[in-house]
Amino acid sequence: MTDKANKLKELREKLKKWEEQLAFEMKTYRGVIHESASSEIKHSKVMVLRDMVESLKKEIKNLEESNK
């Protein structure tokens, strides 16, 4: 395998892991309940996970396009 193929495989594995974690967190996510510290922490965690998933998707897309 080439370096790009290895990198794509690694990124896809990471993406799967973070998508699963995001799906798990979304099961109990109800949005931000103001004046609830635990709700705000949960919201922050969900937003970070969403950002990580989106970043990985973009990186995978860029690598795939550079292989063409």
In the predicted model, is pLDDT for residue 39 greater than 80? yes
18: nearest Cα among 44, 61, 56: 56
Tens-digit pLDDT profile for residues 5-17: 899 999 999 999 9
Residue-range domain boundaries for the chain: 3-67
pLDDT (0 to 100) of residue 67? 73
Other C-beta atoms within 10 Å of 33: how many? Answer: 12
Residue 62 and residue 8: Cα distance in Å, rounded? 10
- Give the position of tokens 């998707």: 57
The pLDDT of 63-67, averaged and rounded, is 86
pLDDT at 30: 87
As a whole number of angstroms, the longest Cα–Cα distance in the chain is 52
